[in-house]
Amino acid sequence: MSWTLMIHGGAGSMRRGKLDPGQETAARAGLSDALAAGEELLAKGASALDAVEAAARVLEEDPAFNAGRGSVLAHDGHVECDAAIMEGKDRRAGAVAGLRTTRAPITAARRVLDSSPHVLMGRGGAEEFALEQGLEQVPNTWFVTPERRRQLDELLAKGSDAFDAEIKYGTIGAVAVDSDGHVAAATSTGGLTAKRWGRIGDSPLIGAGTYADDRAAAVSATGLGEIFIRAAAAHEVCARLRFCGDDLQQTLDKVLADIGDMGGTGGMIAVRPDGTAAWSYTTPAMYRGRVGADGERTVSVFGDED
C-alpha cells in the first residue's frame, strides 16, 4: 500500500535560538503524536479523510498549537474556533466557524460533511448542530491557557488596534492520500489574537485555507487569513496543478509569492493522489511533519531543516 500524510502546526516568526526550548520540544512532540495517529489509520487501509481528522484532532488537544485547547483569545478574552475538512473523491466538505464550546472543532466539521446537507455552519447554529450530533461540549475557559492570556494582555497593552508584528500563525492542518489514491485535507484554528467583530479567517473557507480534489491535490494553509481568502489560495494551488503543468513545489511557491505581493505571509502543505507531497512557507519557520508508507518520517520547525 502507498499512502502519505503531511501535517502543519502553523507558520511564523519562530527562529532558532529565540524560540523557548520548552515550546519547541512540546511542538515537536505534538507533531509526532499527530503523525502517529494518522499513520496508524492509513497503514490499516483507512481513508485519507479519517486520517486527517485524527491527526488534526490530536493537534487540537495540544495546547502548543493555536487550535482547540490553546487557541488564541479574541479581543474580549474568549476563544472562537474555526475548522474545515474536505475529501477529494467527490469534493464533499464540511466547515464550522465561531465555535465556543465544542471540544473538537474538526470533528464538528466532519459531522457537517457527513450528516448535513450544508457545507459551512457558524456560531450558535454550528454549536446547536454539534450538540445534536452528540459532540462533547466544554466551558469556553477549557480552551484558555495562561500563555494565550498573557499574549492577549500584552497585545492589548499596546492599544486597542494593536497587531502582533511577531505573529505566529499556529493554525493546524493535515493533508493525506490513502492507499486508494484519494486525498483529503483538514484545517483548524483559533484565529488571530485580539480578533474582533466575529472575524473569520481562511481556515474554514473551502478554497481559501482548505481544499481537496482528486484531480489535483489536497491543500491546507496557515498565514494571514485575509490575504489567503483574497487569493483563494488552496483552490488556486489545485487549479494551477490541473491547468498549468507546474510541479507541486513550484505551484506552492508561486501561490505564496502571489500572496506575498498582496502583503501576506504564511505557508501551505499539499499532497497529490500519486503521493507527491510538498510544503512551502514565506515565514522564518513552520511547524511541519510528514510520514509515508515508505517508512520515512520527518518532524521539523526551522527553515534550515529543509
Distance CA 250, CA 77 (A): 40
193 is catalytic: no
- Strand ranges in 100-257 using DSSP code E only, listed in sequence order: 120-122, 168-169, 172-177, 183-189, 210-212, 218-223
Helical spans, DSSP H, in 159-295:
225-231, 233-243, 248-261
In the beta sheet, which residues pair with residue 94?
A: 85
CB 221 within 8 A of CB 208: yes
Catalytic one of 4, 107, 171, 193: 171
Which of 5, 116, 134, 7 has the alpha carbon at shortest distance from 60? 7
Distance CA 150, CA 83 (A): 24
Catalytic site residues?
A: 171
